[in-house]
Structure 1
Amino acid sequence: MRIKRFAAGSVLAGLLTTTAIYASQDRANIDPADPLKPEQVVAWKAMLGSYRDSVTHSNATDMNLRGNTKDTKFWLGYYQDPNNFTQSRAGVEQSARLASYGQLISSLQVASGGFVGGSITWDGKQDNVDGLSPLLGLGRTNVKTYYNLNFDPNDSVLWGGTFSQRQLGQLSFYQILDDRLKTSQRVTHLVWRGAMPNAMGLTVDAFARSGASEVGEPKVKGNGLSVTLDLRDYFVRMAYDQRANFTQANIMRLALGFRF
């Protein structure tokens, strides 16, 4: 599905999703940078994703490569759907530590077709400190055509917070709201990320959305769930996204990836 006026959430706290690949998920820092191994200068991960649309019953694919150092992330991606719409993208994200006030995360993303987007997010969480912390963010694009892989509006504001506890993991609650294009778009996320036995990790993102795809279009409501399972250097992400991009389409997503 080709859309306008959305950015793939490269965010400021971390993809847009999924990555992004996902600039989006990163916006609330639910997909943090991978730790560097002693011999690594950059930690790399690659992902291949498939998206099935309930309206057209077609499959689209996305490939992406991400890398990170301690405070910098960068990515390349390529999307193609059965209608031969293709889009290449690239992005970078930089974290600046604010001593006892967490970190300030800024991102920039570009894509073929002239798209440019950016965001800035304050994540009040301090490293290795448990408890509550705030999240505040702002995203802007030049509203050029862009295929949004995380299905959250990026001409928007973000507010929310996280609760961290070493034994329980991290729980994040946040909303992303259109504050520019008058679509009343709102997406609310509740995300849990934690460690499991045998070096496994689990991230669960439950979300609800409401709003219109464009000004004057009917408003829709939908829910969704995304689950990511990590096993050492490999990971799989499965998701069901109802009313994706505020349309009538429901999308099933499957992505496989590995770190190197």
Structure 2
Amino acid sequence: MNLRRSGDFGNAWIGWYGEDHGGLTQWRAGWDRFFDVGPLRVQPSVQVASGGFRGGSLYAEAGDTWFVGAGAGRTNLRPYVNLNFDPNDMVMLAAGHRTDGQQVQVILVADNREHPDQRHLHLNWKVDRGDGEKLTFDVLAKRGDVDGERIRRLGASVTYDWPRWSLRAAWDPKVNFTAQDMLRLSVAARW
């Protein structure tokens, strides 16, 4: 479960994760926001979670139609259920093109702390369909070690946003570089 609020302050969220049959549970909260700093757009983020987890990241991007970006993230290495594709202790490079309500972007995310062999390469395409509707495709190529086995897998997500609702389906093989594959379905409402 996730409750998210966006406004002039940026994006803030609080959420809860739980597994069936007495598995892991975790409360989590976070914040991020883009700031214009001269020719750059800069996005800091912070996350906290029960169990003592603390993390943060910083991303900077330059350019309007054509753009490039770089970022890094760090945590205190406490347990954290990561529900996105990418590691939190990482470096990131991005490049893309925005025009006429569309954006195409290539993003490389590399773990640079505990598992430096782990890499994610994303191809992300966003389309503004008008009337507050958006369509996003994200294709993921992942490689790295999982329990001593070298893997290469493809994952993907598709998101459709309406003005009031959002629907996402995501396939994440070897989620967070574990033996587990994950299919996630998400429905969100805005108010």
TM-score normalised by structure 1 residue count: 0.69
Please name the residue that 1:15 is paired with.
none
The one-character-per-residue Cα deviations of 1:114-145 (angstroms, maximum 9, x if unpaired) are 100010000224xxx4x211110000001111
1:134-175 deviations in Å (ceiling 9; x for gaps): 1100000011111110131111100011210115x0011111
Instruction: State the partner residue of 2:69.
Output: 135
Q: Is 2:167 the partner of 1:245?
A: no
- Equivalent positions of 1:97-246 (< 5 A) are 97-99=36-38, 101-125=39-63, 129=64, 131-167=65-101, 169-196=102-129, 199-213=132-146, 217-246=148-177
Amino acid at match of 2:13: W
Q: Which amino acid aligns with 2:37?
A: L
Give the C-alpha shift of residue 94 in structure 1.
Answer: 3.2
User: Which residue is 2:13 aligned to?
Assistant: 75
**SS of alignment partner, residue 154 of structure 1:** coil
| C-alpha distance in structure 2 between counterparts of 1:87 and 1:207, whole Å | 26
CA distance in 1 between partners of 2:173 and 2:37 (Å): 38
Q: How many residues align?
A: 190
Distance 1:197 1:72 in 2: 23
SS in 2 for 1:76: strand
Q: Is the 8 A contact 2:146 2:179 kept in 1?
A: no
State the AA in 2 paired with 1:203. Answer: T
Instruction: Give the equivalent residue in structure 1 for 2:25.
Output: 86
Q: Deviations over 1:152-205 (max 9, x none)?
A: 1111100011210115x0011111001121441100000011122564210000
Structure ranking higher in strand proportion: 2
Deviation at 1:67, TM superposition (A): 1.0
Distance 2:9 2:162 in 1: 24
Identity of aligned residues (%): 34
Within 2, Cα distance between the matches of 1:218 and 1:177?
18
Whichever residue aligns with residue 145 of structure 1, its letter is: P
Structure 2 unmatched runs, 5+: none
> Alignment RMSD, CA only?
1.6
**SS at 1:245 equivalent:** helix
Q: CA deviation at 1:240?
A: 1.3
- Bigger relative contact order, structure 1 or 2, given CA contacts below 8 A and separation 6+? 1
TM-aligned CA deviation for residue 247 of structure 1: 2.4
Q: Secondary structure at the match of 2:34?
A: strand
Q: TM-score, normalised by structure 2?
A: 0.92
1:55-66 map, 5 Å: 63-66=1-4
Letter in 2 for 1:105: Q
